[in-house]
């Protein structure tokens, strides 16, 4: 898809205003590879107008204190992912679009990140997660838009999707396979 429109609260958002509303965290990037985790967090905290306490909270929340002096280029995939998620945590935008937020994380880290993302929603922020692993989506999200071959197959809550396929016990994978 190379075009479209974005509406928020029933109002179309012009292209120039989208960065004020939406923060996009791309999968597989490594910002500032020669800087330390702490320096990158300091930099982005300043960009986002966050104080030292918020920077420290992001460091703790994503289990990064022991990596503060490590250079970005030396991080494992999972540690880098947690750093990127901490940057999204610091961002000021109301909507966070996170691409594969659990990729590279072990089960314990997935649980911690899921809890942190839920905390963001309790603070009034909205999350759009692009996830290929439907079990991770089911654990993390309240509503789903299932895609196949670039098109929307179905959208709704899990109970709504279960009703749609006539299986009240179905998980998200069952729903997907029943509809494609």
- Start-to-end CA span in the chain (Å): 20
């509303």: which residue's tokens? Answer: 21
Per-residue pLDDT of 19-51, as tens digits, reads: 999 999 999 899 999 999 999 999 999 999 998
3-state class (DSSP) for residue 54: helix
Same domain, 64 and 91: yes
Same domain, 90 and 156: no
Per-residue pLDDT of 98-118, as tens digits, reads: 999 999 999 999 999 999 999
Strand partners, 71: 36
Q: pTM here?
A: 0.87
Residue 161 parent element (H or E):
helix 158-165
Contact status, residue 80 vs residue 72, Cβ threshold 8 Å = yes
Same domain, 115 and 161: no
Range of the domain at 118: 22-131
């Amino acid at each position: 898809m190379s075009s479209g429109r974005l509406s928020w609260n029933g109002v179309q958002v012009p292209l120039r205003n989208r960065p004020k509303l939406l923060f996009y965290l791309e999968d597989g990037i490594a910002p500032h590879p020669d800087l330390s985790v702490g320096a990158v967090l300091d930099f982005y905290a300043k960009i986002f107008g966050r104080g030292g306490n918020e920077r420290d909270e992001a460091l703790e929340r994503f289990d990064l204190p022991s990596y503060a002096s490590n250079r970005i280029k030396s991080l494992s995939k999972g540690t880098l992912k947690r750093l990127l998620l901490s940057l999204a945590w610091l961002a000021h935008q109301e909507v966070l679009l996170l691409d594969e937020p659990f990729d590279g994380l072990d089960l314990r880290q997935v649980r911690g990140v899921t809890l942190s993302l839920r905390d963001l929603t309790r603070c009034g922020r909205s999350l759009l997660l692009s996830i290929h692993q439907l079990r991770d989506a089911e654990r993390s999200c309240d509503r789903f838009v299932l895609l196949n071959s670039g098109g929307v197959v179905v959208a709704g809550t899990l109970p709504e999707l279960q009703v749609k396929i006539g299986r009240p016990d179905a998980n998200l994978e069952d729903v997907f396979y029943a509809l494609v």
